[in-house]
A and B are shown apart, each in its own frame.
Chain A
Amino acid sequence: MGYTEHELAKDLENQEYKYGFTTNIESDKAPKGLNEDIIRFISAKKNEPEWLLEFRLKSFQIWKTMKEPEWAHVKYEKPDFQDIIYYSAPKQTKKYESWDDVDPELKETMNKLGISMEEQQRLTGVAVDFVMDSVSVATSFKEKLKELGIIFCSFSEAVQEHPELVRKYLGTVVPSTDNFYAALNSAVFSDGSFCYIPKGVKCPMELSTYFRINEGGTGQFERTLVVADESSYVSYLEGCTAPQRDENQLHAAVVELIALDQAEIKYSTVQNWYPGDKEGKGGVYNFVTKRGMCGYRSKISWTQVETGSAVTWKYPSCILKGDYSVGEFYSVAVTNNFQQADTGTKMIHLGKHTKSTIISKGISAGQSQNSYRGLVQIHKNAEHARNFSQCDSLLMTDICGAHTFPYIECKNSTAKIEHEATTSKIGEDQIFYCLQRGIGEEQAIGLIVNGYCKEVLNQLPMEFAVEAQKLLAISLEGSVG
């Protein structure tokens, strides 16, 4: 990409501060609870067209008929859906007056992650005075993208400026009827991101860079739609490694990816939301629906590093509709203390010669429960489909749990499916080897865990791979059993 943050900072210094003001949206909140009026209120606030309001209302009707799913291997107190504020205008987050007020523990964590000073300040919400102002940085990137015809903006903006695209693709991969939380999201989604890559365009930068800056305040019901037109390529990263102290307990996001013929989408997630304290109190519920649709010879690759949230319920999936399409899923899920994760993927093979790879690495520590739940489905016409799945679990203490629930359904005799899973703990001989060579136990565990997750971390964009590696070590701190 050849354009670093520092170069950008210099550029911006010489540039006129164009968008230096922010519209102060009236800080109004919707009343608690969920009903049609609230949905109309959200829609009106966002000045949405009629069809989108209808989409929301229809989803709400569907949601009302649905029951909360209970099949996942997690236990939690069900959220009260009438006790949530579904709309609150994004506010300027200035949580701390000066850098000295910031929680030293948080600072230390960020130092360990190797996050730059500027970003640390931004993430913690300290008033930032210097050039790294998010709005202008974002704009500069945006112009570069604009030259190539790439649309990348917030979901609300896309609804206003590119309604035809949003209308065409919204709900095509994850329909409102899909599941309880997808229906809820479709009814009340606050904002999110929209991305469109035109035909034949290879997006020159990791969209992450922009995203990292612009992410704040996207809310708890996020909606992401990524459309890669024929023969295009995009790499997209959401989330960040820094700990996110979020007030919202329930997060129900929907992500839809559409890879048209010969397009490729690489979607990486690093999630480190508040997992609750050491006694298992509090923490975020992360109930996400992520799915991609693959056209002819296209490819969708999901990579996720999940370390946060009290309860995770997430299955990034691929519908391999086009012939010769490829789906990939690389995942590292770490649970510590009282965290619970039920995560995995679905690979639905519809087209001929479709291929999928699943690499899932689960690490459980503390008293956590970590499950892999996956589906590989080969349909009747999916000739010569190929799947390889590997799900490994690592147990760090004798009171945590690691579970594997793979579903393999095959209706075609030319398909080849392989699935393997192992569960074990870190070899005592491996630790002993490290100790002998003067590497402390904590470090040794970090080293072994990183080696164990390497296959997945290698899939992440460079700069995040480094952070993710450190993140793993931090997540497992003090978990030696």
Chain B
Amino acid sequence: MTEAIQEKKFEIAQQSGTSAFSTSSTKEARKEFATLELPTTRMEAWKYTRLAKLKRANLRISDEETVSRELIKEKLVPGIEGSVLVFVNGFFQESLSEIQAESALSITACSNADQLLQFETVRPNEADFFDTMNQAYATDGVELHVRKGETAGQVVQCLFLTVGNEYYAGVRNSIHIESGAAAEFIFLYDSEKSEQCLNHSLTNIQVDQQATLTLNLIQNSDPQGFCVNRSYVSQARDSKFSINTITLDGLLVRNDLFIRVDGSNAETHLNGAYILKGKQHVDNHTTVDHRVAHCESNELYKGVMDEESTAVFNGKVFVRQDAQKINAFQSNGNVLLSDSATVNSKPELEIYADDVKCSHGSTTGQLDEEAVFYLRARGLSEKSARSLMVSAFIGEVLDQLGNEELHSHIYTLLERKYAWVL
């Protein structure tokens, strides 16, 4: 069965009929999607990100590609015991996954579309291109649910893999941490022998009272891949939410993070690192919406750009009128290693309450030549001196990762990619 949806300039063809999400809302979304245009740089949220390359790709949906067990093992974070869910081109692979049953945590793959969309979040009012696209074409997804008062005994890894050329891999996930519960998850976005694929994921997250969630997003797709990732988070009273977004590879990566803090005394931590080269383009947009008093948010994004890469950072902190006693910090640091690299940084504050402490900082610069000289004088090669400085710079973010296995895995990936001599 081949289903092609004609859209003025953007088209996704569906070749396999085994979509779990063929409900009436999907059909409606497809209709709506057909009327939408790809965002352009004239839109404020896409000012610095051109989607022309994505427009040229002839995306299709298919479950025909398969991968081996060995490859999956290679892609996972070594040393972490726990459930593994594998998605290839947006389709859940039961045979490659391993779900360890646990009373505290329920893991359901292939969830129902409507259920996953239940959370009302800070979603923009008007129809969003990528939200609608996900609603219309996402094939599978995972639902992670931690029961009241319990702590998940494992770190679940979800691997979203693209294999082959020009596939649309759409997933929609949902995470719900009930009150007093705690968990940590790792979402890996990777690819194998793949070009021009769109790895598209939409995640709805709800963190209830006194619950704790740590979510790690590791993006390491091929240098010709597209990755669009959006998370809608809502936090209740006394909850703690941390998200670490580490981008190591990908031609065009866009991350949107909408966090709505609905309960007082909640804590939010956003950490991000991006290490780019070639013609990569990474765009991180974050919104923290403080709606109630006595909350704290910390944001730290750091990036290193080499060759002709481009990084975009747009952080926004909202403090609503009655949300007093908010402490919100936002920091963005960038190092440019080459003359052709570009960085666009836009840290924003929108504050409607007076008794707050909010600040942001943004720096752009290069490696300190004096520091490099210092290291050189102590016998380090030029290359190792520079990589030491870069890793120290990025290290501030990576050290925020509480998970040791993940921490060392990322360093391994970086060493592999940049041949760092450490």
Contacts and interface: CB of A to CB of B under 8 A. Distances in A.
B321 A398 contact: yes
Contact of A409 (B342, B356, B366): B342
Given A395-B354, A413-B366, A419 B336 contact: no
B363 interface: yes
A417 B362 contact: yes
Nearest to B345: A408
A402 B358 CA distance: 11
Interface string B146-176: 0000000000000000000000000000000
Given A399-B321, A422-B359, A413 B345 contact: no
B354 A403 contact: no
A402 B59 CA distance: 44
Interface in A394-453: 395-425
B44 interface: yes
B351 A406 contact: no
A312 B355 CA distance: 25
A410 B342 contact: yes
A423 B336 contact: no
A413 B354 contact: no
B364 A417 contact: yes
B339 A420 contact: no
B357 A424 contact: yes
A351 to B, nearest CB: 16
Nearest to B47: A407
Contact of A419 (B339, B351, B354, B361): B361
Nearest to B329: A422
A481 interface: yes
A376 to B, nearest CB: 9
Contact of A405 (B338, B342, B348): B348
Interface string B318-342: 0001101000000000101111111
A380 interface: yes
B346 A423 contact: no
Interface in A358-393: 378, 380, 393
A420 B354 contact: no
A168 to B, nearest CB: 35
A344 to B, nearest CB: 12
A378 B334 CA distance: 14
A76 interface: no
Given A413-B341, A420-B359, A406 B366 contact: no
A51 interface: no
Contacts of A398: 321-322, 324, 353-355
A417 B365 contact: yes
Given A413-B339, A421-B360, A405 B351 contact: no
Contacts of A418: 361-363
B351 A412 contact: no
A415 B354 contact: no
A423 B330 CA distance: 12
Interface string A460-481: 0000000000000000000001
Nearest to B342: A411
Contacts of A73: 350
A412 B347 contact: no
A403 B355 contact: no
Nearest to A71: B44
Contacts of B358: 422-424
A404 B348 contact: yes
Interface string B353-390: 11111111111111000000000000000000000000
Contacts of A404: 347-349, 360
Contacts of A412: 336, 339
Interface in B121-159: none
Given A406-B347, A413-B366, A420-B359, A400 B354 contact: yes
Contact of A413 (B44, B338, B344, B353): B338
A73 B172 CA distance: 34
A417 B339 CA distance: 15
B366 A410 contact: no
Nearest to B313: A408
B418 interface: no
Contact of A423 (B337, B345, B359): B359
Given A399-B321, A409-B342, A417-B364, 11 more contacts: A378-B364, A395-B356, A400-B354, A403-B349, A406-B345, A409-B343, A418-B361, A420-B361, A422-B357, A423-B349, A425-B356
Interface of A: 71, 73, 378, 380, 393, 395-425, 481
24 contacts: A395-B351, A397-B354, A402-B351, A404-B347, A405-B348, A406-B345, A408-B346, A408-B362, A409-B342, A409-B344, A410-B364, A412-B336, A412-B339, A413-B341, A415-B336, A416-B365, A418-B361, A418-B363, A419-B345, A419-B362, A419-B363, A420-B359, A420-B361, A421-B361
List the 6 closest pairs (A to B, CB-CB), nearest first: A413-B336, A395-B354, A417-B364, A408-B345, A419-B362, A422-B359
